[in-house]
Amino acid sequence: MLQQNVKRLDTAYKNFFEGRGFPKFKNRSNFTSFTYQMGVKVQGSKIYLPKLGWMRFHNSRVIPEGFTIKAATIRKRQNGWDVSIRIEDKSIPDYISKPLNEINSLLGCDLGITKLVHLSDSYQIENPRFSTNKKAKRTLKIRQRRVSKKVKGSNNRKKSAKRLGRLHKKIADKRSAYQWETANKIVSRKVDAIAVENLNVSGMLRRCKVKIDEKTGRFLKNGQSRKKGLNRSISDAGWSDLILKIEYLAVKQGKIVIKVNPKNSSQECRNCGHIDKSNRDGEKFICTHCGYHEHADIGAAKTIRDRAFEIVRGDSTKLAV
């Protein structure tokens, strides 16, 4: 367990020497989790953690017969401490998925903000915007303000911080539940494989470059305040978490998830291949070259599906990295 922190420090220094920035100071409150690689035992509703001893816990899922505990991670959550246990049974073979050349049907998914998912079969899934809808935004703002108005280090501040944290947790739980529901809807369709975009969410979330007036040295508007709102919406949608859940459920059903390069997927004409930003007008797609038109996001989902088909057929040059 102590080794883990040394490992974290080692990674930080390795990153530093490979030119990825100086290690950051970490406050005591940054360390909210630790992992045991060995020595954890579970007996009914009691768990043994080395150096800490036996303690009671709520055993939410019984460890199935024949499995051994591989590792345990303890995390501090807003409503207490969670322990997640990694188990293994060597006698169970890995899930076998279909070989690529046996894929006959594919479902394309286009992830978005106004609608969470558009599917290539024209089905749409709503985005409830758990933390960026009007009501949630207001409550979050109020709770946040209650924290920042209080004296630093005071008990009152801690109390209101806890209330804010609980709200964040509630929102996260709701989002996660909705994502499972959505992933289930997608995976349970009668297809062999599911095609999703290979997203670079952290790239999308990056801040705008600082603009400085050369003459006066003053900061100019760079659109960051507008980007901030979009960034929040992207985080709220939780695309990468959703994809993870889709992958998890797909494996269980022997289905394959194919990740494709989403470049220009919403700007490319599906009729003539013409790529142009002005092909798209809000929800509508109208090709400036040939006049082909359809719903822009469903079109994008179809493009993603077709790109996955290209991969299946063996054109690996289009394979997303």
CB of residue 284 vs Zn ion: minimum separation in angstroms? 14
- Least CB distance to Zn ion at residue 31 (A): 55
Which of 76, 313, 307 lies closest to 195 in space, CA to CA?
307
How big is the chain by its Cα radius of gyration, in Å?
24
CA nearest neighbour of 78 among 137, 47, 32: 32
List interacting residues with Zn ion (CB under 5 A): 269, 271-272, 274, 287, 289-290, 292
Question: Please, which residue, 72 or 287, has the CB nearer to Zn ion?
Answer: 287
Report the residue number, 201 or 286, with the smaller CB distance to Zn ion: 286
Q: Strand pairing partners for 88?
A: 68
- Return d(Cα 275, Cα 289) in angstroms, integer: 9
Q: At closest approach, how far in Å is the CB of 295 from Zn ion? A: 15
Catalytic residue among 181, 197, 294, 315: 197
Taking the least distance from each CB to Zn ion, the nearer of 212 and 290 is: 290
CB of residue 266 to Zn ion, shortest distance in Å: 14
Closest CB to Zn ion among residues 274, 318: 274
Mapped to the 3 state alphabet, what secondary structure does 200-267 carry?
Answer: CHHHHCCCCCCEECCCCCCEECCCHHHHHHHHHHHHHHCHHHHHHHHHHHHHHCCCEEEEECCCCCCC
HSE on the CB side for 124, CA within 13 Å?
A: 14
Between 127 and 279, name the residue whose CB sits nearer to Zn ion. Answer: 279
C-beta of residue 220 within 8 angstroms of C-beta of residue 132: no
Residue 249 CA, distance from chain mean position: 15
If you search the block for the tokens 């394979």, which residue do you land on? Answer: 319
Three-state SS letters, 5-16: HHHHHHHHHHHH
Nearest in space to 88 (alpha carbons), one of 112, 99, 72, 110 = 72
Distance separating alpha carbons of residues 68 and 70, to the nearest angstrom: 6
Q: Determine whether 236 is an active site residue.
A: no
Catalytic entry in 247, 268, 297, 306: 297
> What's the N-to-C CA distance of the chain in angstroms?
34
Tell the smallest beta-carbon distance from residue 278 to Zn ion (Å): 12
- When the beta carbons of 48 and 292 are compared against Zn ion, the nearer one is 292
Question: Residue 60 CB, nearest distance to Zn ion (Å)?
Answer: 53
Q: Is 268 a catalytic residue?
A: no
- Which of 72, 94, 71 lies closest to 83 in space, CA to CA? 72
The catalytic site residues sit at 110, 197, 297
